[in-house]
Structure 1
Amino acid sequence: MTPTVASMFNLLTEPWIPVRWVPSARCDEPPGRVGLRSVLVNAHRIQQLAPPHPHVHAALLRNLYALTARVTELDEQGPARDWLERRDEVIDAGQLPAAAVDAYLARFHDRFFLYDEDGGRPWMQDPRLARQCDPHNTAGVNKLIMTRPSGNNHAWFRHGSDSTPDLPSSADAALHLLTWHYYGPSGRCSSREVNGVKSASTTAGPLRTALSYHPEGATLFETLLAGLVQPSSVVRREADLCPWEWEQLPDPEKVPDAPTGPCARLTACSQHAVLLVPGGEKGEVAADAYITWAYREGRIPRDDPYLIWQISQQGNRYPRPADSQRALWRDVDALLAHRVSDSDGSQPPLVFETADGLWPHLRVRALGFEQEGQAKNVQFVEAATPPILGKEEQLRPSSRQEVARLRQLGERYGRRLDRAVRRAYRTYVDDKKSDAGAWSADAAARYWPAAEREFWDRFRQLQRRNSAGQDDSAADASLDADATRSAFLRLAERAYDTVTERAGMTLRGAQAVSDARIELYGGPRRR
Structure 2
Amino acid sequence: MPTGTYNLIDQPCIPVRWKPDTPPVDTAAGLPDRVGFRELLLRSQDIETLAVADAPAHAALLRVLYAITARVADLTEQGPAGDWDERRLDVLDEGRLQAAKVDAYFAQFEDRFFLFAPGGRPWMQDPRLAEQCDASKTAGVNKLVVTRPSGNNHSWFRHDRDTAAEPPTSSEAFLNLLVWHYYGPSGRCSAREVSGVKSASATAGPLRTALSYHPEGASLFETLLAGLVPPETGVRGEEDLCPWEQENLPDPDRPPRASKGPRSRHTCRSQHALLLVPDEDGAHVRDAYITWAYRGERMPREDDYLIWQTSQQGNRYPRPADTGRALWRDLDALLLQNPPAGNAHPQQPRVFHSAAEVSEDLRVRALGFDQEGQAKDTQFIDASTPAVLGFAEANDARTVPAVARLRQLGELYGRRLDRAVKRAWATYVDDAKADGAAWAAQAGARYWPRAEAEFWARFRLLDRTGAIPDGGFDRVATRRAFVRLAEQAYDAVTAPVTRTLRGAKAVSQARAELYGGTPKNRSAVPAPRDMTKEPTA
TM range (shorter): over 0.9
CA distance in 1, matches of 2:366, 2:392: 22
Separation (CA, whole Å) in 2 of partners of 1:391 and 1:508: 50
Q: How far off is 1:354 after superposition?
A: 1.2
> Are 2:75 and 1:74 equivalent residues in the alignment?
yes
Report the alpha carbon displacement of residue 434 of structure 1 after superposing the two structures with TM: 3.2
Cα offset, 1:526, TM superposition = 5.7
- Counterparts of 1:311 and 1:89, CA distance in 2: 38
Residue 190 of structure 1 is matched in structure 2 by 190
1:154-193 map, 5 Å: 154-193=154-193
| 1:374 Cα deviation after fit | 0.3
2:404 corresponds to? 404
Check whether the contact 1:310–1:344 (CA below 8 A) recurs between aligned residues. Answer: yes
User: 1:311, 1:346 within 8 Å by CA — same for their partners in 2?
Assistant: yes
- Give the aligned residue type for 2:496: R
Q: Displacement of 1:470 after TM fit?
A: 1.5
Q: Tell me the distance in 2 between the aligned counterparts of 1:283 and 1:104.
A: 25
Deviations 1:92-145 (CA, angstroms, capped at 9, x unpaired) = 11001110000010111011010122x100000000000100000000011111
Find the residue that maps to 1:206 and give its secondary structure: coil
The residue type paired with residue 72 of structure 1 is A
**What's the offset of the Cα at 1:393?**
10
1:430 Cα shift? 2.8
- Give the one of 458, 473, 479 matched to 2:473: 479
TM-score (norm 2): 0.93
The separation in 2 between residues aligned to 1:460 and 1:344, in whole angstroms, is: 28
Rounded Cα–Cα distance in structure 1 between residues aligned with 2:201 and 2:23: 48
- In 1, Cα distance between the equivalents of 2:60 and 2:503? 51
SS at 1:290's partner residue?
strand
TM, length-normalised to structure 1: 0.94
Aligned to 1:22: 19
TM-aligned CA distance change 1:214 to 1:406, over 3 Å: same
Could you tell me how far 1:156 is from its partner in structure 2? 3.4
Pick closer, same or farther for the CA change 1:162–1:26 going to 2, 3 Å. Answer: farther
1:512-523 superposed matches below 5 A = 512-523=506-517
Verify the 8 A CA contact 1:156 1:377 in the aligned structure 2: no
> Is the Cα–Cα contact under 8 Å of residues 340 and 401 in structure 1 kept in the other structure?
no
1:341 Cα deviation from its structure 2 partner:
8.5
Q: 1:401 to 1:392 in 2, by over 3 A?
A: closer
The whole-number CA distance in structure 1 between the counterparts of 2:123 and 2:261 is: 21
Q: How many aligned residue pairs are there?
A: 516
Give the letter for the 2:31 counterpart: P
Deviation at 1:194, TM superposition (A): 0.6
Partner of 1:53: 54
Residue 89 (structure 1) aligns with: 90
Judging changes above 3 Å, is the alpha-carbon distance between structure 1 residues 85 and 522 closer, same or farther for their aligned structure 2 residues? same
Q: Which residue of 2 aligns with 1:6?
A: 3
Q: Give the match for residue 305 of structure 1.
A: 304
1:109-508 superposed matches below 5 A? 109-117=110-118, 119-279=119-279, 281-337=280-336, 339-340=339-340, 344-390=344-390, 396-462=396-462, 464=463, 466-467=464-465, 469-470=466-467, 474-475=469-470, 478-508=472-502
* Counterpart secondary structure, 1:379: strand
Q: 1:341 to 1:225 in 2, by over 3 A?
A: closer
> Deviation per CA, 1:449-499, whole angstroms, max 9, x where unpaired?
11111111222222x2x32x425xx44x83222221111111000001111
Q: 1:9 to 1:320 in 2, by over 3 A?
A: same
Name the CA distance, whole Å, in 2 between partners of 1:282 and 1:134: 24
1:357–1:390 CA contact under 8 A, matched in 2: no
Deviations 1:210-233 (A, max 9, x none): 000000000000000000010012
Find the aligned partners of 1:45 and 1:213 in 2 and give their Cα distance.
23
Aligned amino acid, residue 505 of structure 2: Q
Question: Which residue identity does 2:380 align to in structure 1?
Answer: F
8 Å Cα contact 2:214/2:305 also seen in 1: yes
Instruction: Provide the identity percentage.
Output: 62
User: Cα–Cα, structure 1 residues 142 and 402, in superposed 2: closer, same or farther, change >3 Å?
Assistant: same
Q: Which runs of 4+ in 1 moved over 4 A?
A: 391-395
Q: CA deviation at 1:431?
A: 2.9
Q: Provide the aligned C-alpha RMSD in A.
A: 1.8
Equivalent position SS for 1:397: coil
When residues 343 and 97 of structure 1 are mapped into structure 2, their CA distance, relative to the original with a 3 A threshold, is farther
Aligned to 1:510: 504
